[in-house]
Amino acid sequence: MSDQLVFQPSAAAVARTHTTAEDYAAQYQRSISDPDGFWAEQAKRLDWVTFPTKIKNTTFEYPNVSIKWFEDGVLNVAANCIDRHLLEHGDDIAIIWEPDNPNDKAEYISYRTLHEKVCRCANVLKSLGVKKGDRVTIYLPMIPQAAYAMLACARIGAVHSVVFGGFSPDSLAGRINDCDSAVVITADEGRRGGKTVPLKANVDKALEDCPGVSKVLVVHNTGADVPMKGSRDVWWHEAAAGVEPFNDPEPMNAEDPLFILYTSGSTGKPKGVLHTTGGYLTYTSLTHELSFDYKRGEVFWCTADVGWITGHSYIVYGPLANGATTVMFEGIPSWPDASRFWQVVERHKVNIFHTAPTAIRSLMGAGPEFVEKHDMPSLRLLGTVGEPINPEAWLWYYNKVGKGRCEVVDAWWQTETGGHMIAPFPGAIPTKPGSATKPFFGIKPAVLSPEGKLQEQTKAEGVLVIEDSWPSQARTIWGDHGRFVSTYFETYKGNYFTGDGCRRDEDGYYWITGRVDDVLNVSGHRLGTAEVESALVAHPKVSEAAVVGFPHDIKGQGIYCYVTLMAGESYDDALRGELRNWVRKEIGPIASPDFIQWAPGLPKTRSGKIMRRILRKVAENDFGALGDTSTLADPAVVDDLIANRQNRP
C-alpha cells in the first residue's frame, strides 16, 4: 500500500463480512472471466417464474449497441420485493417512515402491510385503465405512498417515471409528455423542513400542457384544501378502499421496462434513462447486500429522495428485494436543527447510514456540537454517494459520526449504471479518504487519455470508461435509442463512457475527479449547463447565456451564469434577482444560480463558439492561467469578464 492515508477494515467488519479480501479477489476474477457462470449464480437470489437460460447477450460495438441480460427469464419485481418475504418474514418491518416534524409519529410498515397497500394501489391503477407497458408519472414527497406507487406499477407491469418533488410544473410537464403518461400520482402537498410544497397545484399547472393525462391519483397528505377536477382527479384513499387487497403479480420478461428516470446530460433536454426488470433487480439486490454487508434484521437508512436513482435502488428496490428494513425520511438534515439526522439514527437504531457529501459538508459546517451529543451505538457503516467526497469531509464523517469505529463506503455510480460500480467491500478492501476504491463484481473500469488511448499502466489519469456490460446497465433512452448510443458509446468506441474523469493510483484505487462534460453536480444533483442556459434565454430580456460550474464549499459545485441582455435593457441587481427566480420557476429550486455576471460580450472564437474553458477559469477565480486566447474574435472581452467577476473580491 502506498503511503497515503489508509484505513484497514476494522476487526469487527472483517469478522462479520460476507466477502473476505480473498473472496473479493477470486470472485472478481471469476465475474470478469466467466460472466455467464457468475451471473447465472447471482440470479438465483431472486424468485423467477421462469429461470433464465440465456444470461449475457450484450455488445458495446458502435453503432449496434445492444444490451440484454437474462433475456428468457420471467419474474415480477414487486413479488420479489414483497410476496416472497411474507411466509417467514411477513411481520418484519419493511419501511420505517420518519416524518418531517420530529414531534409527529413515525410509521412502521410490515411486509404484510406493504403487500396490502401495494396490491390495493395496483388494483386502483388498473381501475384507472393502466395496463402493462403503460407509463405512470409519480410526483410525490417522501411518504410511504411513493414506494407503494412504484411497487404497484412494477406489480402490474406499468413503467414508472418518478419526478423529484422539487421540480417545477414546466419540468414536470416536459417529463410527463416525453414518456406519454396518461396517469399522474401526486399528493395534495408535501412537507420539507417545516414548509409545505404545493404538489397538486404544480400538477394542475403542468397539466395545462399535458393533453394526454386523463387521471390524477391524489394522496391526502397534509389535508390542504386542494381543488379536485371532476372526472380527472381521484383521491387515493377513497379509491384504495373500494378495491381488493390482493392482486396477482404480472409475469414480466427480464428485459421488460421497469422504470424511466429523467437525468441531465451535457446537451439538450433531460433524458429518460430506461431500466429493465431482471438485471436491475439482481444487481441492486446484490450490491445492497455486499457493498453494505447487509444482514437481515439490520436497519438501513439512505437519505436520498426517491426522485433520484439512489432512492430507487437503495431505498426501495435493493433493500426490499433483500427483505431489509429501510428508512424513508420526509425531512431535511438541517431542520429543526443540524442534529436531525443523528436524532433519527438514535430513534430507529439505524445500523447503516447512507448520505451525500453535500449533507456531510453542511453538517460539518454547522459545528461539532450537534453530532457530539449523539452516541449512536447502533451505527456500523457509513455510506457516501453522489459526488466526489473531499478527504476532510470523509474524515469528519468517519471520526465524528462514526466515532472512528464505522466503515466508510464511498460508492461511485450513476443513474445510467443502476447500481454501485466502484465501492469498497466492507471488511475486505482497505479505504482511502476520497477514493471509491475498487470495482464491484462484473465491472471492468478502464482509464483512457482524453484522445481515447487506453492507459495500461496501473497509475494513470484520464477519462473513466467501462469496457463491458453489467446487469443493471440502462438499456436505452426512452424514445431515442440513437441518443443513447451517441451519448455513451460514440466517443470511445467499444466502451461505455461515464462522463467522469478519474485517477487510478499505484494500488489500483480509483479516485473520481468529477464530470468532464457539461454536466454540473450541485449538492449531488445532476444538472446540464445547457438546461440552465435555455431557461435563461427563455427570459424576454436575455439574449445570450453561458453557464459553468465553480467549486463550492458545501454544494460541491455552484452555478455561475454569464448573461448578455437584449439591446437597450439595463444591467441591474433587480434583474439579477428576477433571473434567479425565473430559473427556479423554469427548472426548480435546485437550479437556482449562485452568481449571475453581466457579460455584454462572451468570449467566442472567430467561428462563434463560446470558449467555456475561459468562462470556467474566471468563475473559479483562476484567471492567471487562461491559456491560449489568441483564437478569440475579441480578446478584450476577457479583461471585461475578469473585471466584473462575481464570486470573490
Restricting to residues 618-647, name those near ligand 6R9 by CB under 6 A.
none
Q: Is residue 309 within the footprint of ligand 6R9 (CB under 6 A)?
A: yes
385: contact with ligand 6R9 by CB under 6 A = yes
Closest CB to ligand 6R9 among 170 and 387? 387
Residue 436 sits in the site that holds ligand 6R9 (CB under 6 A): yes
The letter for the amino acid at 251 is P
What is the rounded radius of gyration, in angstroms, for the C-alpha atoms of the chain? Answer: 24
> Could you give the CA distance from residue 290 to residue 281 in angstroms, rounded to a whole number?
14
Least distance CB 134 / ligand 6R9 (angstroms): 25
- Asked if 586 touches ligand 6R9 (CB under 6 A), the answer is no
CA-to-CA distance for 96 and 356, rounded, in angstroms?
Answer: 20
* Residue 94 vs 408, nearer CB to ligand 6R9: 408
**485 in contact with ligand 6R9 (CB under 6 A):** no
Exactly one of 46, 382, 408, 411 binds ligand 6R9 (CB under 6 A); that residue is 411
Site for ligand 6R9 (CB under 6 A): which residue of 272, 307, 386, 402? 386
**One of 331, 418, 499, 593 touching ligand 6R9 (CB under 6 A):** 499
**Which of 98, 189, 255, 500 touches ligand 6R9 (CB under 6 A)?**
500
**Cα 610 off chain centre by:** 30
Question: Would you count residue 263 as binding ligand 6R9 (CB under 6 A)?
Answer: yes
Beta strands in 55-132 (DSSP E): 56-59, 66-69, 74-75, 93-98, 107-110
* Separation between Cα atoms, residue 109 and residue 82, nearest integer Å: 12
Given the DSSP bridges, would you call strands 271-276 and 476-477 parallel, antiparallel or unpaired? antiparallel
Provide the minimum distance between the beta carbon of 527 and ligand 6R9 in the complex, in angstroms, as a whole number: 10
The answer to whether residue 167 forms part of the interface with ligand 6R9 (CB under 6 A) is no
State how far the Cα of 45 lies from the Cα of 228, in Å rounded to an integer.
44
Chain positions 551 to 570 lying near ligand 6R9, rule: CB under 6 A, are: none
Dist CA 236 CA 640 (whole Å): 57
Q: Which stretch binds ligand 6R9 (CB under 6 A): 125-133, 240-248, 509-517, 581-589?
A: 509-517
| CA atoms 530, 532, 538, 541: torsion sign | negative
500 is in an annotated binding site: yes
Nearer to ligand 6R9, 139 or 488 (CB): 488
Is position 539 annotated in a ligand binding site? yes
Q: Is 368 annotated as a binding residue?
A: no
Give the integer Cα–Cα distance in Å for 351 and 358: 21
The verdict on whether residue 279 carries a ligand-binding annotation is: no
Task: Tell me whether the omega of the peptide bond preceding residue 336 falls within 30 degrees of 0, making it cis.
Answer: yes
162 is in an annotated binding site: no
Using the rule CB under 6 A, which residue among 310, 326, 351, 358 binds ligand 6R9? 310
Nearer to ligand 6R9, 311 or 323 (CB): 311
Region of 276-284, 383-391, 452-460, 465-473 interacting with ligand 6R9 (CB under 6 A):
383-391
**Residue of 141, 238, 239 lying closest to 189 (CA atoms):** 141
Buried b (16+ CB within 10 A) or exposed e, 334-351: beeebbbbbbbbbebebb
**Which residue lies nearer to ligand 6R9 by CB, 270 or 442?**
270
User: Does 310 count as an annotated binding residue?
Assistant: yes
Beta carbons of 472 and 279 less than 8 angstroms apart: yes
Question: Rounded to the nearest whole angstrom, what is the least distance from the CB of residue 296 to ligand 6R9 in the complex?
Answer: 25
How far is residue 396's CA from residue 339's CA, in Å, rounded to a whole number?
15
Q: Is the peptide bond before 319 cis (omega within 30 degrees of 0)?
A: no
Q: In the range 412-431, which residues lie near ligand 6R9 by CB under 6 A?
A: 412-415
Whole-angstrom distance, CA of residue 254 vs CA of residue 588: 35
Residue keyed to cell 427556479: 584
> What is residue 440's DSSP assignment?
P
Among 114, 321, 463, 512, binds ligand 6R9 (CB under 6 A): 512
Give yes or no for residue 410 binding ligand 6R9 (CB under 6 A).
yes
* Spatial distance between the Cα atoms of 503 and 497, rounded to a whole number of angstroms: 15
The reply to whether 386 sits in an annotated binding site is: yes
Cβ neighbours of 577 (radius 10 Å): 11
435 binds ligand 6R9 (CB under 6 A): no
Long-range contacts of 31-38 (CB under 8 A, 24+ apart): 31/441, 31/442, 32/442, 32/444, 35/442, 35/468, 38/441, 38/442
3 state DSSP class of 628: coil
Q: How far is the CB of 80 from ligand 6R9 (least distance, A)?
A: 22
517 near ligand 6R9, judged by CB under 6 A: no
Ligand-binding site membership of 135 (annotated) = no
184 is in an annotated binding site: no
Task: Between 277 and 415, name the residue whose CB sits nearer to ligand 6R9.
Answer: 415
The annotation places the binding site for Mg(2+) at 537, 539, 542
Residues at the contact surface with ligand 6R9, assessed by CB under 6 A: 263, 308-310, 385-388, 410-415, 436, 498-500, 512, 514-515, 521, 526
The annotation places the binding site for ATP at 386-388, 500, 515, 526
